A = this chain, B = another copy of it.
Amino acid sequence: MQKPGFAALLREKKFKATPGRVALLAALWEEAKPISVQALAHTLRKSMDEATVYRALEALASSGIIRRVDLGHSHAHYELERVHHHHIICTSCGDVEDVEDIATEKHLENMAARSKRFRSIYSHNVEFFGNCQNCNK
């Protein structure tokens, strides 16, 4: 994926392209994996107040520009919405690896389609937990 024009992307989604939000998206791009709000706020400490980071993350996540990810910790992580994928988390060292598989995605859609009370399902998260090779010695 090419680095997108973040300002244009924001305007496209009806947001104002403020320097802070552009910096936020750039930081997520740089990170290239889920980052905690605290770490992100620290990175952006020159550009954005922590409360504003929270507000921006929520707004951008509900517009689909970014994605909220749960890694089993007691605080949220976010990442740029790129190619659809999921995560494997090492419960020992916290390391995260991406996984993707088209065939599985189809099955996930089927699974969701079985619901009786839900007709519209617009997203899903999948997380695997295990130990990476470093921690499994």
- Listed in ascending order, the chain A residues whose CB lies under 8 Å from chain B are 68, 70, 72, 74-76, 86, 88, 90, 95, 97, 99-101, 103-104, 107-108, 110-112, 114-134, 136
Contacts and interface: CB of A to CB of B under 8 A. Distances in A.
A127 B125 contact: yes
Given A122-B130, A136-B120, A88 B70 contact: no
Contacts of A122: 129-130
Contacts of A99: 111-112, 114-115
B88 A115 contact: yes
A41 to B, nearest CB: 15
Nearest to A75: B74
Nearest to A131: B120
